[in-house]
Amino acid sequence: MPNATVNGWLLFDPTDPVQHIGELPVHLYGTKILIAENIDSSLMKIPYISPEKNNSKFVVKAHLDNDGNMSSNVTIIDYGAKAFATAHYLSKTKTGKLINIYKSRFSDILPSLKLSEFSFDNNNDSSWIQFNIEQSDYIIKSGDLRFLPVDFIYAGRLPVLKKKERIHPIWFGGFKKTEIEIDWTFDDSWKVDFKPDSIKAECETVSYSYDLKQIDSTIKILSLYTSLGNLVKKENYKAARKFRRTLSKGRNMKLKLESSN
């Protein structure tokens, strides 16, 4: 069923070469449009679509070598409205600029990363981007202790909620669903002090889950973030702060390592 329908009107954007009829660019959902009819005209709001129809999935295969250097293969698959937006962006942007954009995206977490083997394509129902990342000295050292930040993929910045009170609503971002799946493998010199962990949290219009588990010698991280794109009421500020702390905890999870070197 088409996503862009308002009071029986089937909408489309004739200026966008990648959108299907009945689909709109992501930024138009939630905005108002003027419907022009023979008898009368009216201003109507385009409803948000469900987060499942604006979905991104990150699939990562990461490896830590004996010297503490990280190498990984990253695949980003976009579906629904997100896929159309990505396809349009990829078609209008030079590859060199795209590479610099993705380098910048991860630079806060991976300050000296090397990005290579960059490729992308549009499969009509989905768009995907794939590349390799290398980061030297990835582990965190604290005296004789070594720690592995397990999630270097998370995207977007969280709202700053440090004040004790709030005078207006809180926004955790637009409507979207983001899945992250990371598999970590290790050279033989590393021993992981592993304990399974699971986190679940929600606050009015947003939800988050995080699972950390081990399958044979692979550490697997699965996280899911869903936002309806609506504001969280200021009366729920306390719950919003708690949600943000929980989300931050999952994003900043670290594993303790021991090395035989």
CATH of the domain at 129: 2.60.120.1130
pLDDT at 187: 95
The answer to whether residues 108 and 24 belong to one domain is no
How high is the mean pLDDT in each 10-residue block of the chain (261 residues)? 57 63 66 67 70 87 96 94 82 90 86 93 88 95 90 78 91 89 95 89 93 93 91 94 92 88 74
Does 58 share its domain with 40?
no
Q: Are residues 212 and 241 in the same domain?
A: yes
Q: What is the pLDDT of residue 43?
A: 73
Q: What is the pTM of this model?
A: 0.83
Structure confidence at residue 1 (pLDDT): 40
Question: For residues 19 and 16, what is the distance between their CA atoms, to the nearest angstrom?
Answer: 6
Q: Say how many domains are in the chain.
A: 2
120 with 199, same domain? yes
Q: What pLDDT, on a 0 to 100 scale, did the predictor assign at position 21?
A: 62
For 19, the domain range is: 5-45
Same domain as 100, residue 10: no
* Phi and psi torsions of 237, nearest 5°: -60, -40
d(CA 31, CA 202): 25
Eight-class DSSP state of 170: B
Characterize the bridge pairing of strands 70-80 and 126-135.
antiparallel
Supply the DSSP symbol for 158: P
Same domain assignment for residues 27 and 116: no
**What confidence score (pLDDT) does residue 203 get?**
94
36/93 same-domain check: no
Tokens of 209: 């889950």
pLDDT for the residue numbered 233:
94
Residue 186 and residue 90 in one domain: yes
pLDDT digits (tens, 9 = 90+) for 209-248: 999 999 988 999 999 999 988 899 999 999 999 999 999 8
